[in-house]
Amino acid sequence: MAARELEADCARCAGLCCVAPAFARSSDFAIDKPAGRPCPNLAGDFQCGIHERLGQEGFKGCTVFDCFGAGQRITQETFEGGDWRAEPEIAGDMFAALPVVRQLHELMWYLTEALKLDEARPVHPELRAVLAETDRLAGGGPAELRALDLDAYRRRVNPLLQRASELARAGAGGRRADHRGADLVGRRLRGADLRGASFRGALLIGADLRGADLRRADFTGADLRGADLRGADLTGVLFLTKSQLQAARTETSPP
């Protein structure tokens, strides 16, 4: 299977993430915006008019969103370069496709990362097969994408990703604590030995992880908004996305 783009390329997208989802006025968004209505900051060329000032303008939620390349795939492949402004009749299908293809591309990112783990070699053949299947599903037409049961598909894929994680974490040392789905909001974990820990789906909002040993820890789906990772050892960390890092506080975060 040819390598698939799993990172957003906004220059090749019809601004789908600025139109399809709803925004609710909050600490992440400065305005209320219903689904299907363009954000007022969306320019005529489908680029964000305040991209360099999103945080200052109250759109922090936009800075941590990643479509994993779904936007350009839908625009360039599913709709063959068409866009909702020039062809209003395809708008509904384009907007409905975004959350589906985005979730499939996110799964593809996890599967691709799992294939990089030497310890997970026993499940590499299965990972490659599921990666190809997920890519095929993401390439479906509008009707196929609407009909797809995403929850059922994720339930089928997740055990394989968990198995890859378990194999990778087995030799990490430490206690390999199980914090799957845990509420760790604001928890003080500074300097903790969390080698090989599972934080799958955990709430780590505002958690203090400064200087923690997080080698080979699994962060699949963890909410890291405002978590302090300064000085933490993230060597070989598992399934930590770019958007998760952007939501956390790190050495490179703005003051």
Averaged over 37-59, what is the pLDDT? 94
SS3 content of the chain, % helix, strand, coil (to 5): 40, 5, 55
Residue 24 backbone zone (phi > 0: left; psi -120 to 50: alpha; other: beta): beta
Q: What is the pTM of this model?
A: 0.94
pLDDT for the residue 254: 61
pLDDT for the residue 255: 58
Instruction: Name the band, by pLDDT with cuts 50, 70 and 90, for residue 251.
Output: confident
d(CA 213, CA 210): 9
Q: Which fold has domain 173-255?
A: Pectate Lyase C-like (2.160.20)
Which residues of the chain are in CATH 2.160.20.80 domains? 173-255
Nearest CA-CA partner of 220 in 160, 145, 175:
160
- Beta-bridged to residue 249, according to DSSP, are 228
Q: For 36-73, b where at least 16 C-beta lie within 10 A, e where not — what string?
A: eeebebbeeebebebeeebeeebbbbbebbbbbbbbbb
pLDDT for the residue 124: 98
pLDDT for the residue 252: 77
pLDDT for the residue 147: 97
pLDDT for the residue 55: 87
Q: 3-state class of 52 per DSSP? A: helix
pLDDT for the residue 1: 53
Tens digit of each residue's pLDDT (9 = 90 or more) over 124-182: 999 999 999 999 999 999 999 999 999 999 999 999 999 999 999 998 887 889 999 99
